[in-house]
Amino acid sequence: MVMRKATIDREAGYRLMGELAGPETVEGTLAGLDALAPGFPDWIVTSLFGGTYQREGLALRDRQIATLAALTALGGVEPQLDDHVRNSLRIGVDAKEIIEVMVHLAPYVGVPRALAGLRVAAAVLREQEQPE
């Protein structure tokens, strides 16, 4: 059996990470993580944003909605959920849709997890409404 090679594109991963999270995250957060765990942030960006996110079959918007659902279902990963709520807003998923994702999850993942997701989303949305 001949397996197809996975598409792994480091440059595309960093471009996408910059588009989703903003250049400040690429430069700031990843640099701090790299100081703690050298090479790990590069692996994350390259394999996830340069690999999984580069696959055909789902639009970026759909991937973000799936990510919101997965992180909410997982629970205990509020910093990552916070980031992905921001990323989703940045690419045009609107606030009402993000809230509806959390509400839709309640019968599947449990009300406590859905409420935790709503708390994270509400905090991000409140912050986004604040004038700078």
Please indicate, yes or no, whether residues 64 and 94 belong to a single structural domain of this protein: yes
The answer for residues whose C-beta is within 8 angstroms of residue 94's C-beta and 6 or more apart is: none
Residues 79 and 27 in one domain: no
Tens of pLDDT, residue by residue over 81-101, are 999 999 999 999 999 999 999
CATH of the domain at 118: 1.20.1290.10
Neighbours of 60 (CB within 10 A): 16
pLDDT digits (tens, 9 = 90+) for 22-64: 877 777 888 899 999 999 999 999 999 999 999 999 999 999 9
Same domain, 69 and 104: yes
- Whether this prediction's pTM lies above 0.75 is answered by yes
Say whether both 51 and 74 belong to one domain.
Answer: no
Cα 75–65–101 angle (5° rounding)?
Answer: 70
Helices marked H in 37-77 — which ranges? 40-44, 60-74
- When divided into structural domains, the chain yields a total of 2
Domain extent at residue 124: 59-132
Catalogue the long-range contacts made by 95-103 (C-beta closer than 8 Å, 24 or more residues apart): 95/121, 95/125, 97/65, 98/68, 98/125, 101/65, 101/68, 101/69, 101/72, 102/68, 102/72
At 36, which helix (H) or strand (E)?
A: helix 30-36
